[in-house]
Copies of this chain bind each other. A is one copy, B any other.
Amino acid sequence: MEKKIALLPGDGIGLEVMNGAVEILKAIEEHYYHRFHFQYGLIGGAAIDETNSPLPEQTLNMCKEADAVLLGSVGGPKWDQNPSHLRPERGLLALRKELDLYANLRPVETVESLLDSSPLKREFVEGVDFMIVRELTGGLYFGKPSERKVYGGEETVVDTLFYKRDEMVRIIEQAFELAQGRQKKVTSVDKANVLESSRMWREVAEEVAARYQDVELQHMLVDHAAMALIHNPKQFDVIVTENMFGDILSDEASMLTGSLGMLPSASLSSTGLHLYEPVHGSAPDIAGEDKANPVAMILSAAMMLRHSFGMNEEAEAVENAVKHVLDSGKRTADLAKKGEAPLSTTALVEEVKAAL
């Protein structure tokens, strides 16, 4: 197959881990006789520095013409004091909105050989395997007004949690579709005892559930979910929730696996053009030091092979190679055990390539 892939390394460790993923994709290209056309674009802080915009027109157009987008990470202290329209995260949020990437899929799966790196006791995290489906283009992230106003001499501020019914329907449907291919259980997370939007969310979840009789639906309050992820994570199969709750819960859930450096994500759109990125951030403290864990980025590329290109065998080959390397005890600094010398980013990538 011939595929155009837009590569947006972004900031911090984004470039290093992206290089790792490209290495692996090139190896796949060779082994399986595909042809990948890689095109690089600027986003985030890097784009602000060069073009004074966190998402340049050119990058957006390049993405729209591609078959899939791979993103590294955005942000860093360098741009933290910028006005809000000139912040790196704005580039990512704008890209999500422009490409209508409404469904963020974050698989959380613990790896046997890494269980000892988890802050949680083995018996709590062994066998954990669930998927968080986070709504990504609505809610507090995009609602208007989002502004300050002076009333009677007093400064006030407002952000808006806004959803259309259709936006709820499509993301909840997505969760049910996924559950059908898994353990057939959806946990819908909301705050229905306080928020009107959550009460509507719950209604929509019930409506959708009626169309998927083979899938079980459970409702859970967000505060309870924040506990349940720790004391009983094995109960989950597919978790679906709105944007902000999803942001918080998925980062929390990432801790079950021991390192944020392990977790890939896919952001699916209505148009068929999807984006793949690691869950981790740009880690400015270790950027440029060839230390970052490239696994999340490599697994994001594997998700792309599977979801965007239908290359199931290739995706599995990458995932197995990663697993093989980790099982053999080779790890980057974030996961290395006491007394073991950690591998560099490039060295780990070489190992994965060799294992392919």
A249:B226 contact, CB within 8 angstroms: yes
Q: Which of B120, B156, B160 contacts A158 (CB 8 A)?
A: B160
Chain B contacts for A245, CB-based, 8 A: 248
In the complex, the count of this chain's copies comes to: 2
Q: A118: nearest residue on chain B (CB-CB)?
A: B121
Chain B contacts for A157, CB-based, 8 A: 162-163, 165, 196-197, 200
Min distance, Cβ A285 to any Cβ of chain B, angstroms: 13
Chain B contacts for A255, CB-based, 8 A: 227, 230-231
Residues facing B in A68-97 (CB within 8 A) are: 75, 84, 87, 89, 93
A: number of interface residues (CB 8 Å)? 55
Residues facing B in A293-344 (CB within 8 A) are: none
Min distance, Cβ A308 to any Cβ of chain B, angstroms: 26
Chain B contacts for A87, CB-based, 8 A: 193
A48 within 8 A of B: no
| Complex Cα spacing A200 to B252, Å | 25
B248:A147 contact, CB within 8 angstroms: no
Known: A120-B121, A157-B196; 4 extra A-B contacts, CB below 8 A, are A119-B121, A120-B120, A154-B165, A224-B251
Interchain residue pairs A-B with the least CB separation, the first 9: A226-B252, A223-B251, A155-B165, A159-B161, A230-B255, A89-B193, A157-B197, A157-B200, A119-B124
